[in-house]
Structure 1
């Protein structure tokens, strides 16, 4: 499989948006997990770029962070991925991948299309991330899973729902005009097309 130049450029742009959204961070006193817009970037990556480039854009940030680049809240290195929020971060690329895969099966038109898209974006752009994030938080802080839910899940539900609504409102009209294959100039046969 070959990558298109346009797809690589949009992946880099989405990676930059993820990094930028990480700086919009609101700490909450009782939890080591801040409120950020990073999950919105993951939703947009999968929804706008499709599974391949959505995955690549987010994986780029995760890998570069692991290598020491200060891309997540101005910090980097393996310590970030092994820290209390690491369980959330490592699943990000797969969340974008699944959003891209499942949205490709949906015609986002009318209320039903928007609602299905919203459910996909919420399930995989938000709830899936807690599947690895909350247990890792519990492990790192040696707390019970119920306490980890209180510190790493419940405070974020409303915000995640709002982000999923905004992501759906952004993704739906863009995909109508620029589906991921057109936006990234990617042809599934593996042929590179560049303008």
Structure 2
């Protein structure tokens, strides 16, 4: 197993800060307790740019700070945030960042890089979040209708999540041209060996 690097840990902390900052960009909806938030964009970026371990670590830092009572979720914090109606979405984020990062580490940069990143970000960064998020939303608010839960917790958010996936893929594709993910993972010198022994998404 590869060692944790100082560079990776620093980037995890920086992306935790980005996630906290983006949490303030949110829009409340009159028919739902779930707001439109840019934190999901930060989760996509963390996984795509930092890889599985450091991307999920960045998210876990934010969740840990929230659990400790720090106002890192749009000015709110404490255990009440982590057991509230949006908790299902929040606790899916480390898994999402890990899976995005896992696939991002295996993407070969070519003319299809943007498309591959878009697919990975939307599949894991958006669609994977909904099952747990919608289930907990319905459970915590006493919803008995699946259609109402989907209306309150999924359907209105899909277009925005697609836009976030496009933004994440575009930003990461551009960044990778000058600062590839291998530099974060400290695997540049071993790229030739890993290319022979790991699955690459071409």
Report the TM-score, using the length of structure 1 for normalisation: 0.90
Question: 1:185: Cα distance to partner?
Answer: 3.9
Closer, same or farther: CA 40–165 of 1 in aligned 2, 3 Å: same
1:65–1:72: 8 Å Cα contact kept in structure 2?
yes
CA distance in 1, matches of 2:8, 2:113: 26
- 1:129 is aligned to 129
1:14–1:45: 8 Å Cα contact kept in structure 2?
yes
CA distance in 1, matches of 2:42, 2:3: 24
1:10–1:184: 8 Å Cα contact kept in structure 2?
no
Closer, same or farther: CA 2–183 of 1 in aligned 2, 3 Å: closer
Uncovered stretches (5+) of structure 1, i.e. residues with no partner: 190-195
Question: 1:109: Cα distance to partner?
Answer: 2.1
Question: 1:180: Cα distance to partner?
Answer: 2.2
Question: 1:187: Cα distance to partner?
Answer: 8.0
Question: 1:23: Cα distance to partner?
Answer: 0.4
1:4–1:186: 8 Å Cα contact kept in structure 2?
no
* 1:68 match: secondary structure: coil
- 2:116 is aligned to 116
Uncovered stretches (5+) of structure 2, i.e. residues with no partner: 191-202
Deviates more, 1:140-149 or 1:43-52: 140-149
CA distance in 1, matches of 2:113, 2:54: 23
* 2:151 match: secondary structure: helix
Question: What is the count of residue pairs matched by the alignment?
Answer: 188
- 1:43 is aligned to 44
- 1:176 is aligned to 177
Deviations 1:103-150 (A, max 9, x none): 22222422x332222111001111111121000000011112221100
- 1:142 is aligned to 142
Question: 1:12: Cα distance to partner?
Answer: 0.8
- 1:67 is aligned to 68
1:23-42 correspondence runs (5 A)? 23-42=24-43
Deviations 1:7-66 (A, max 9, x none): 111111100010111001110111001111111000000000011100100111011211
1:99-110 correspondence runs (5 A)? 99-110=100-111
Closer, same or farther: CA 178–163 of 1 in aligned 2, 3 Å: same
CA distance in 2, matches of 1:55, 1:25: 22
Closer, same or farther: CA 188–124 of 1 in aligned 2, 3 Å: farther
1:117–1:168: 8 Å Cα contact kept in structure 2?
yes
Report the TM-score, using the length of structure 2 for normalisation: 0.87
What is the alpha-carbon root mean square deviation over aligned residues? 1.8
Runs of 4+ in 1 over 4 A off after TM superposition: 186-189
